[in-house]
Amino acid sequence: MLEIRRIKPDEGPAAKRVIYRVAQDIFHDPRSLEESIAYHESRGELKDMDDIQRNYFEKGGIFLVMLDDNHLIGTGAIRQLENDTCELKRLWLLSQYHGKGLGYRMLQELFSFAREKGYKRIWLQTDAVQQSRALEFYRRLGFHEIPRYTDRTDDIAMEMPL
């Protein structure tokens, strides 16, 4: 049975593992999953997930997980950027669950939360080349390109009114 709910305090490592597994597929990382995780952790990637309470819940946001029969299969989060602007973060779903409308379901939960909090628009930034499938998904939902708002030069920034 599928379930979307707030992440529990002890689920951070499992959520990171899902993200690293999906990223390994998308970015065609030839290393083993354990080597890939060690490499990216040493670079401080996903550092925001080391304190989800502080970086999401205390910043006007939420961090959700998706489970299939109690197995964590996806993540999605929102945090505040400006008074009426939030940022979509950490939307990842295990590859075998792609194409089933589950990412859409997660986004609807996140959009509902954002609207309830009074956000007027949502921004995101993602890799322009390797995340082409995600970019098309975001465009179909109504996101459009905006100038980048971080220093990640390989990324595309997008916005959608809520």
Percent of the chain at pLDDT > 70 equals: 100
**Looking at residue 57, what DSSP letter applies?**
G
What was the pLDDT predicted at 131?
85
CATH assignment of 2-117, among 3.40.630.30, 3.10.20.30, 1.10.287.110, 2.40.50.100: 3.40.630.30
Q: What band does 16 get if pLDDT is binned at 50, 70 and 90?
A: very high
What was the pLDDT predicted at 47?
94
Q: Is the pLDDT of residue 36 over 80?
A: yes
Per-residue pLDDT of 120-149, as tens digits, reads: 999 999 987 778 888 999 999 999 999 999
Q: Report the sign of the C-alpha dihedral through residues 123, 126, 128, 131, in that order.
A: negative
Q: Is the pLDDT of residue 150 over 90?
A: no
Instruction: Using DSSP bridges, classify how beta strands 155-161 and 144-146 pair: parallel, antiparallel or unpaired.
Output: antiparallel
Per-residue pLDDT of 94-110, as tens digits, reads: 999 999 999 999 999 99
Q: What band does 151 get if pLDDT is binned at 50, 70 and 90?
A: confident
Q: Is the pLDDT of residue 152 over 80?
A: no
Percent of the chain at pLDDT > 90 equals: 88
What was the pLDDT predicted at 127?
87
CB atoms within 10 A of CB 81: 17
**Looking at residue 35, what DSSP letter applies?**
H
Radius of gyration over every alpha carbon of the chain, rounded to an integer in angstroms: 15
